[in-house]
Every structure is written in structure tokens, then in C-alpha cells.
Structure 1
Amino acid sequence: MRQKIVVGNWKMNNTIAESSALASELVAALGKGFSGCEVGIAPTYVALQEAGKIIAGSAVQLVAQNCHYENDGAFTGEISTGMLKAVGCSYVIIGHSERRQFFGETNATVNLRIKKALAEGLKVILCVGETLAERESEVTSKVVTSQVTEGLAGISDISTVVIAYEPVWAIGTGKTASSAQAEEVHLLIRNTITKLYGDAAAGKLRIQYGGSVKPSNAAELFAMPNIDGGLIGGASLNAADFAAIIKAAS
């Protein structure tokens, strides 16, 4: 039985003070002894340390929104795995659609970042998903399969990798893939992992859904056999809503 995993991606939201307040509200809403599913929050880089202090000792883990594939150097605006580990991150999100869409992320650079993160002991959430144009052109399967295959190229052990399926057309739009649509792509991803790594690895792999998940639709989505939780955007900025989604996964 795969344990559900729910992670809140706060994106470019909240000051340090606001992030600290939200983290405190979430810990209070869940209770320090909560263990129904694996939980994480991904504040902005500047808020990681302070948010990390607040969630220390709770069931909530600290997650980074990205990482670079070099240890240090002339990479203005980037952040290294060593820096993330130093502030207590256990997971890093890689390949989010917004990184692909706005900042030139490719399957090749996703692969480099994943290799670096895993080599440094960070767990990875690999994001994949198609745009509206790609879905309407009926190339969802090709796009997602390529993102998974090329993103994980040369990686032999995926035991600390989570995949998040995020249909780009359902992120921040209020639109949500139906539970059947989401399940179809989650099954595609699991079948792709079976071909790459075998039945055992595919059976253990956790696949999250991301795309306008709310308290009102979380339970139906998480009830699907291949949906193992969620990567939550907007709803994670409200402690009560995020806690409700987490409890739906439990």
C-alpha cells in the first residue's frame, strides 16, 4: 500500500513573516502527531529557513521549489543542493510546468537537476504534464512519456522519486481534469515506469496529481487507484483548505 503524499507549492507567494504564520497555522491544524500521509511545504527560498524552524518536530517536511545541478559558481538566481540541505530541505520539486514554460527548463536540464539532487541525498518530485494545445492535439501520451523517460534517463534507482502529473491547462485556471482523465494519465505514467524499471518499482512509485485540487474535489481524485496524493498550488496558501486536502488523502 503506497502512502499518500501531499505537498504545498507556495510558488512566489508570502513574505518571510507570512510564510512563518502560514506554517504555524498548518502545524496547528494538523497536530504534531499527524501521520496520515506524508506532508510537505515548499516556501520561497528566502522563507525556507524560518518556515523550517516552525515545522521542525512536526509531521511537515521542508521542500524546495527547484535546484541547480552545479555545486556553486556563476549561476545568478540559482540555488544549490548544498544550500537546500543546509536549511533542512528533504525534497525538491524539479521540472514544474512554470519552470518549463517561463524559464526554459527542458527534459535535459530536468534530468541534470534530478541526478544532482539524488546524488546529494535529496528526494525528488518530478513534474510532468501537457499543455492545452498538446491535449487538444491528442499528444498527451507522447509528451508525458517523453518527460518521464528523458527526465529519468541514466537514473537506476527511483526509490526516492515521486512523479507529479500536472496538466498545464488545469494549473491556476480553476479547471480540473476529471478524476477519470487524471487517472488515465497516472496509469500511463505507471506503465511507463514498468517498462523502464519493472513491476516492483512501478508498484512502489507514488504519483501525485496537481491542477486546481481543492477540498471539494480532493477525496474523489485521491480515491483513484493510481493517484497517490497531490502537489497543491493555490489551495496550499490557506491552512484550513490545505489541511482539509491532506486529511482527504488520509
Structure 2
Amino acid sequence: MTVSNNNLDVLPQLAQGGRLILGNWKMHGGVSANSELILDLLAGGEQLPAAVACGVCVPFPYLVQAGELLGDSRITWGAQDVSCHEQGAYTGEVSASMLSDFDCTWVLVGHSERRAQHGESSEQVA
């Protein structure tokens, strides 16, 4: 699998006071609906000012799809969670290095829903 993302290109503009807009898919979508939404994002994404970075955080099963559709566009992609463990017997967990394999630029960490529904604390997400 090879996906490409100009993911690190957005960091200088953010460091210079740029803005970041991230969309969170939550647990919605499917392959067809995702394609339609991503194509709509691509159509509008080219109109963003240069100082604005844009990305989407999709459920784990759709990382490849997001990467393939977004490719080298200005819209980056990421995941909705990451494990605090790098490897081991943690069924259902996904490590940062695994996400890196998908060229994820962003990961949502410490989301209020995860805190409420899974009891995640500030210490766990720090």
C-alpha cells in the first residue's frame, strides 16, 4: 500500500499563525458516502486561503480510502484515536507507528466522547 500526503507541508503555515480546520467523521459513512464527501471536500478545498490547513479524521477502516482519494491535495487526513501502547497484546488498539504507515497527519486525542464513554483521563492522553 502506498499513499501520499504532503502532511508536513502544513506545519510551517500553522507555526506562522495559520488556521487549522479538522473534520471528524465520528462513526458515520461508508465507502460510497465517504467518496462522495471527500470529492466534495476536494472541490471546495482549493478555494481555501493559503494560511488555512484543512484535514479530516476518519474511522480506522477508511484510512486507506481517505489517503487514496486525498492524495497530494491540500486536504490532509488522520485518525480518530491512538493507543498509548506501541505494541503488544492490546486487541483493537492502533499504535502511532501503525498510523504513520498510513501517512496520517493528525490524530484526535482526548476527545470528550472518549473521555465520557471510555473513562479516558488527562493522564492517559498526555
**TM-score of the pair, normalised by structure 1:** 0.42
Contact 1:70 1:80 (C-alpha < 8 Å) held by counterparts = yes
* TM alignment of 1:32-47, pairs within 5 A: 35-47=50-62
Structure 1 unpaired stretches of 5+: 112-250
Contact 1:7 1:39 (C-alpha < 8 Å) held by counterparts = yes
Query: Residue by residue, what CA displacement relative to the aligned partner does 1:26-84 show, whole Å, maximum 9, x if unpaired?
Result: 00122288634011101111001111111111111112111002122221221111111
Q: Please report the RMSD computed on the Cα atoms of aligned residues, expressed in angstroms.
A: 1.7
Displacement of 1:24: 1.4
Residue 68 of structure 1 aligns with an amino acid whose one-letter code is S
Larger Rg, first or second structure (1 or 2): 1
Displacement of 1:19: 1.5
1:69 pairs with 2:84: yes
Q: How many residues align?
A: 111
Residue 56 of structure 1 aligns with an amino acid whose one-letter code is G
Q: Show the counterpart of 2:103.
A: 88
More helix by share: 1
Distance 1:94 1:37 in 2: 21
* TM alignment of 1:106-125, pairs within 5 A: 106-111=121-126
Structure 2 residue aligned with 1:79, among 73, 94, 98?
Answer: 94
* TM alignment of 1:1-250, pairs within 5 A: 2-31=17-46, 35-111=50-126
The 1:99/1:33 distance shift into structure 2, 3 A limit, reads: closer
User: Structure 1 runs of 4+ off > 4 angstroms?
Assistant: none
The 1:43/1:58 distance shift into structure 2, 3 A limit, reads: same
**TM-score of the pair, normalised by structure 2:** 0.80
State the percentage of identical aligned residues: 32
Residue 26 of structure 1 aligns with an amino acid whose one-letter code is L
